[in-house]
Chains A and B, each alone.
Chain A
Amino acid sequence: AQTVTQSQPEMSVQEAETVTLSCTYDTSENNYYLFWYKQPPSRQMILVIRQEAYKQQNATENRFSVNFQKAAKSFSLKISDSQLGDTAMYFCAWGYGNKLVFGAGTILRVKS
């Protein structure tokens, strides 16, 4: 069965600094998708960034970028210039077909 592991239950970062959240996964599939979702306190979960496994180029969305290492089955999220509004639970997810498999999440606190 596919599994997704987020080894950092909680992290904190100073405003304007850079932080990296780690994610590893296990799969025997070759073509799949990877996602990072953000769940702010008491608010709806939203997509941060998405990566197709067949693409070697790392996805970026403004201050958010990923380091995708397919052979190592690693998919880390880098947040640059952290802002107070980045405080949230972040979930890594692996996707194939209709389904997503989620990690346990990392709580990120941005401090002023």
Chain B
Amino acid sequence: DVKVTQSSRYLVKRTGEKVFLECVQDMDHENMFWYRQDPGLGLRLIYFSYDVKMKEKGDIPEGYSVSREKKERFSLILESASTNQTSMYLCASSLKRGATYEQYFGPGTRLTVT
């Protein structure tokens, strides 16, 4: 079974802090994704990566950056956290670039910025 893990289930940070959310997948998937989930808005794509050191902006990249130094690991960075970034963050992975494969999700990180 594919396993996607995220470094924290719950996180509380202060406004202005730099925040790192880590995601690891164990099935050699090429694609990895970061979403944020908000009530009434569903899941919105922040960034995705189809290879090491490669990234593409999603629908809401402002205020976020990402890093993919190894194939299995994809990090989401909030350079200066703000209260409007309080949300549930979901990481996902899928098999290969260029085709639509099922995405496998991590358990999510509920981030609160105070």
* Residue of B31, B50, B103, B107 ringed by the most chain A CB atoms within 10 A: B103
Q: Report Cα–Cα, A32/B101, bound state, in Å.
A: 11
Interface size on A, residues (CB 8 A): 24
Is the C-beta of A16 less than 8 angstroms from some C-beta in chain B?
Answer: no
Is the C-beta of B100 less than 8 angstroms from some C-beta in chain A?
Answer: yes
Contact residues of A: prevailing secondary structure = strand
* A-B contacts, 24 listed (Cβ < 8 Å): A9-B40, A33-B100, A37-B105, A44-B105, A44-B107, A44-B108, A45-B90, A45-B105, A47-B102, A50-B102, A95-B100, A97-B99, A98-B31, A98-B50, A98-B94, A98-B97, A98-B98, A99-B48, A100-B100, A102-B44, A104-B40, A104-B41, A104-B42, A105-B42
Q: 8 Å CB contacts to B: which residues of A63-112?
A: 91, 95-100, 102-105
Instruction: Give the B-binding residues of A (Cβ under 8 A).
Output: 4, 6, 9, 32-33, 35, 37, 43-47, 50, 91, 95-100, 102-105
* Across-interface contacts of B97 in A (CB, < 8 A): 98
